[in-house]
Amino acid sequence: MDLASAKAVISGGASGLGLATARRVIDAGGHAALLDINEEQGAKSAEDLGERAVFIRTDVSDEGGVRTSVGEAAKFMGGITLAVNCAGILIPERVLGRDGPGSADSFSKVIQINLVGSFNVTKEAAAVMQANEPNTDEERGLVVSTASVAAFEGQIGQASYSASKGGIIGMMLPIARELARFGIRVNTIAPGIFLTPMMEGLSKEIQQSLGAQVPFPPRLGRPEEFADLVATIYGNAMINGETIRLDGGIRMQPK
């Protein structure tokens, strides 16, 4: 598929990996709908991207809200050919902390946003994609979800985050197998340590320290590198049912 004609719905699209992906699509000539809960940043980002972008306030954990937002996105763009799940949160918490056992509510919140949210966007976008005219490879669309290296090497305090990201990887293959009959591919990217808004809040010293842990290149990943991988997957019909680590070779330590 050609990114120049992409119609992308991107959760978490107001900033970070999602915004970089939206910019990559827009720069190629496509359209992008930014689904995010941050209204101020979302509106600003869509304005910066231009007339082929739109912001739609969306809580990805709200199934009905996602259905409405995806419908609005499809109407704005004239369809959907790409869905990218970037919305996510991290609530660090030990299972047994100083004040006692961790909170099931916090654990559930992370699962609802990261895992259930990705499922919600995936299924609603796929429902629109199935009506697309197939290209010469019989493709109708692509879904890319964002996992994390924490799915494989979760650190202490990341039980909920690792569980949510592991769930994203776990559901990817059965969904890819199911949607294959519609010509819809499903893949997952598992980033390492990237310079996202959460990381930008840390001091330069801490950022450099984290980057130095990456074997090569010894730095934090750039959101544009994530976006480049999404573009590569979009253009290569043989990449399907796959989880791709994008991490510079890092393997996370316990803490």
CATH number at residue 239: 3.40.50.720
18 lies in a domain?
Answer: yes
- How many distinct structural domains can be found in the chain? 1
Look up residue 110 and give its two tokens.
């992370």
Q: Is the pTM of this model over 0.85?
A: yes
pLDDT confidence of residue 205 = 83
pLDDT of residue 238: 98
How many helices (H) and strands (E) the chain has is answered by 9, 9
In a domain, 206, yes or no: no
pLDDT of the chain, 255 residues: tens digit per residue: 999 999 999 999 999 999 999 999 999 999 999 999 999 999 999 999 999 999 999 999 999 999 999 999 999 999 999 999 999 999 999 999 999 999 999 999 999 999 999 999 999 999 999 999 999 999 999 999 999 999 999 999 999 999 999 999 999 999 999 999 999 999 999 999 999 887 777 788 878 888 899 999 999 999 999 999 999 999 999 999 999 999 999 999 998
- Whole-number pLDDT of residue 240: 98
In a domain, 205, yes or no: no
In terms of residues, how long is the chain?
255
Distance CA 235, CA 47 (A): 27
**Structure confidence at residue 164 (pLDDT):** 98
Confirm whether 161 is a catalytic residue.
yes
In a domain, 99, yes or no: yes
Residues 162 and 205: their CA atoms lie apart, in Å, by: 26
Q: Return all residues near 196 (Cβ < 8 A) that are at least 6 apart.
A: 15, 16, 17, 223
Tell me, yes or no, whether 163 lies in a domain. yes
- Exposure string of 182-207, with b = 16+ CB inside 10 Å and e = fewer, is bbbbbbbbbbbbbbbeebeeeeeeeb
Q: Is residue 202 part of a domain?
A: no
Whole-angstrom distance, CA of residue 200 vs CA of residue 193 = 12
Report yes or no on 201 lying in a domain.
no
pLDDT value at position 56?
Answer: 98
Q: Which domain holds residue 94?
A: 3-193+222-246
Predicted pLDDT at 207: 83
User: Which of 55, 107, 161, 194 is flagged as catalytic?
Assistant: 161
Q: Is residue 253 part of a domain?
A: no
